[in-house]
A and B are shown apart, each in its own frame.
Chain A
Amino acid sequence: MSKKASLRFSILRGFVAILISLFIASILIFISAEGGSFGEKLSSTGEALVYLIVRPILNGKGAFSVKSLTDILACMIPTIFTGLATCVMFSANQFNLGAEGGIMLGAFVSALVAIYVPMGTGIHMVVAVLAGAVSVAVMMLIPGILKAKLDVSEMVCSLMLNYVVMYAIKFMMNTYFADKTKGQVQSLPFEKTALVPQLINNGSKLTWGFILALIFVALTALFMYRTRWGYAIRMIGINRDFAKYSGMKVAAIIVASQVIGGVLAGLGGGVEMLGRNEFYSWSALPGYGWTGITIACIAGNNPILVPLAAFFIAYLDKGCNLMATYCGIPAQLIDIIQAVIFLFFAAEQFLSGYRQKLVVRSAQQELREKEGQK
């Protein structure tokens, strides 16, 4: 099958997957919709679906609004980073699920630097975010090295680390860094010099972090497809034995892929924390890591497609929140929609029959063309 036809097939396949998940979502919405009779329920389901699908980029009056769009773009910042992190790690077949704890650790360390290490404007922010990234890189060394040296499951190890990181941060917040004058557990305010500047000042919290995220999309794509290390990472994912026998340092590359994933997740945590907040107050894992996994799956582990996938998920997420506010449908519907989309995108044999038909048809066409030439 030609490249073009194969691309067309992937788009169609994705489209069908999304339709199926929206269909399942509408069934769930219907079940939980308000209304006594069947007709009433149906109409309130329709109303809810409008909120889910159309309203996210509109304002209250139903016209297109820049503010709504920038809201969605702002939500993409952390998930682009975790999506990229997952892309790199999963490309090497390293099912490291530590981006969740990683983004929390990155946010926490960046926050500490932003509060306690005074520096000049500009440089302060850079140092704070980098400190967060480095700390997560160190955290990811643990599952990375254990996997490379001892063949310990990086998945179980990173999952356990997520819990350890969360409790450690909660402990440190409660005992050392809490602002005792406040009712809830929160840190002292960040120094103004450390804040990530806003891109548009309309309250959306769309910061320069968004531009930075896009830059990292390009950098990650270049790294994965244009460098020796990126090639090695992908090759290990495709065939580890082949990589080994062709002389690649498999252990080092396994560690590297997870550390790079850690750096990306850490950057996301720092940029999100210093862009959206004025003090640190996360007391639970934020969930961006799991969203990142869905995004990487939709993007087929291709960094270039990550922003698109992140936009899609952020759009649906906002839609679910609107539904929760206006139609009383629990906002956690997003988790089920995400999981269903994720499943169908990951299903290799999904629509394989149709794909087979396409392959056969294009082969027949080629044969006919050849005979025509004769």
Chain B
Amino acid sequence: MSNVLSSILSAEFFFSIIRITSPILFATLGAVIVEKAGISNIGLEGIMMISALFGSLCAYWSSSWFVGLLAAMIVGVIVALIMSVFAFQLKTDIILVGIAINMIGSGGTIFLVKSITNMTEGEALSSTTSLITSELQIPTVQIPLIQNIPVIGPIISGHSLLTYLAFLLVFLTWVLLYKTSLGLNLRSVGENPNAASSVGVSVTRVRYTAMALSGLMAGLGGAFMSMSYAMGWSLNMVAGRGFIALAAQAMGSGEPFGAMLATIVFGFAQAFGIKLSSIGLDSNLSSPIPYIITIIGLVVFAIVKRKRDAKRVAAVGAKQRKEK
């Protein structure tokens, strides 16, 4: 037991929490933005898969990780915009659109990778792991000064560039939502689209923008998966992170910082699971830990929310009685 404890309290373990949290954090921010605009984008998972694939492929073709990253972001936005056309123009239930995108993300990507590599490499590959070398990975950053601080240094320094971007984006998302006019429009559309449209906000345009931003975030998450977390794209590599992001959004009551904390909880759960399997626990027992934590987290959040609402109702009632 002390063995477990000491390996958990190591700097390396906390480092891995941050690393594991980053891709989920991107998707979570995507979920936060669209939910603020009143849309549930359950296609985040699929978008991550698709952009992870194109990110790694473009990095390979251009021999540059930056082009790959850019491609992943663009693909993420394009997929999100296609979803928007179906959802807002053709009035398809957004949940069904999300399911369709996830179908393409799981099975369709393997078709794409096979036929694309067949054309360019001469043989059909079922993953891009053999194409990605460590130079094509998104570079890691050693932060000067901080990296020399004992304990904190090895935890915070040395992450992928995208990891720092993910945490920076939490702040930027907050700025976007609460300090810009776009954010105001976004929130008003989410709160009451009719009211927003009556004061001249183009509801459709705001929704498109929100979807595009969520696609961008999911694209970054996908790029992280195939170009930093793992070497290249492989089947089902996102493994439910897009769905966990939806849960994290709900647990953070839709706020960027709250959702970030929830995401870190999931990052911890997954890092813990990996740690347990590395010291001998059957991986089939440790792998489901993040999923179980997600369900428990949702339940706890729902109970807390219910209590808070009940309290608020009671407080309002008491105030009204007093005024009488």
Contacts and interface: CB of A to CB of B under 8 A. Distances in A.
A332 B107 contact: yes
Interface in B83-99: 86, 89-93, 95-97, 99
Interface stretch (A58-66, A148-156, A241-249): A148-156
Interface in A324-338: 328-330, 332-336, 338
A339 B82 CA distance: 13
B231 interface: no
A168 interface: yes
Contact of B92 (A156, A157, A294, A347): A347
Specify which of B86, B96, B287, B306 lies most central, judged by the most chain A CB atoms within 10 Å of its CB.
Answer: B96
Contact of B103 (A160, A329, A338): A338
Contact of A293 (B42, B99, B247): B99
Contacts of A135: none
Interface string A335-346: 110111011001
Given A330-B124, A348-B90, A155 B299 contact: no
Given A150-B303, A163-B240, A330 B111 contact: yes
B11 interface: no
A44 interface: no
Nearest to A149: B302
Interface stretch (A77-85, A169-177, A274-282): A169-177
Nearest to A157: B295
Contact of B299 (A150, A171, A333): A150
B108 A335 contact: yes
Contact of A339 (B108, B240, B303): B108
A96 to B, nearest CB: 11
A95 B243 CA distance: 14
Contacts of A146: 295, 298-299, 302
A349 B42 contact: no
B298 A153 contact: yes
B199 interface: no
B16 interface: no
A339 B103 contact: yes
B294 interface: yes
Interface string B202-228: 000000000000000000000000000
A174 B89 CA distance: 49
B282 interface: yes
A297 B97 CA distance: 11
A15 interface: no
A167 B288 contact: yes
A329 to B, nearest CB: 7
Given A152-B299, A332-B108, A335-B107, A32 B99 contact: no
Interface residues of B, number: 46
Nearest to A330: B114
A334 B291 CA distance: 28
A97 interface: yes
A161 to B, nearest CB: 7
Contacts of B295: 142, 146, 157, 160-161, 164
A31 interface: yes
B250 interface: yes
Given A146-B298, A332-B111, A347-B86, A297 B291 contact: no
A65 B67 CA distance: 52
Nearest to A168: B288
A219 to B, nearest CB: 26
B297 to A, nearest CB: 10
Nearest to B111: A332
A350 B124 CA distance: 36
B108 A155 contact: no
Nearest to A97: B99
Interface string B281-324: 01011011001101100110011001000000000000000000
Best-surrounded residue of A32, A150, A346 (most CB of chain B within 10 A): A346
B129 interface: no
Interface in A317-374: 328-330, 332-336, 338-340, 342-343, 346-350, 352
Contact of A342 (B91, B103, B285, B298): B103
A168 B282 CA distance: 11
A347 B82 CA distance: 13
A159 interface: yes
Contacts of B118: 32, 328
Contacts of B162: none
B9 interface: no
B104 A336 contact: yes
Given A31-B115, A32-B115, A157-B298, A164 B103 contact: no
Contacts of B294: 156, 160
Interface in A226-278: none
Contacts of A97: 99
A342 B97 CA distance: 9
A287 B235 CA distance: 14
Contacts of A108: none
A342 B247 CA distance: 25
A332 B110 contact: yes
A108 to B, nearest CB: 13
Given A150-B306, A155-B42, A332-B114, A174 B284 contact: yes
B302 A171 contact: no
Nearest to A147: B302
Contact of B104 (A160, A164, A174, A339): A339
A290 interface: yes
Given A156-B294, A330-B124, 4 more contacts: A160-B292, A161-B295, A290-B99, A335-B107
26 contacts: A28-B115, A32-B111, A95-B95, A97-B99, A153-B250, A156-B294, A160-B243, A287-B107, A290-B106, A330-B110, A330-B114, A330-B124, A332-B110, A336-B104, A340-B100, A342-B96, A343-B86, A343-B92, A346-B92, A346-B93, A346-B97, A346-B100, A347-B86, A347-B90, A348-B91, A350-B90
Q: Which 3 A-B pairs have the closest CB atoms?
A: A335-B107, A32-B115, A171-B284
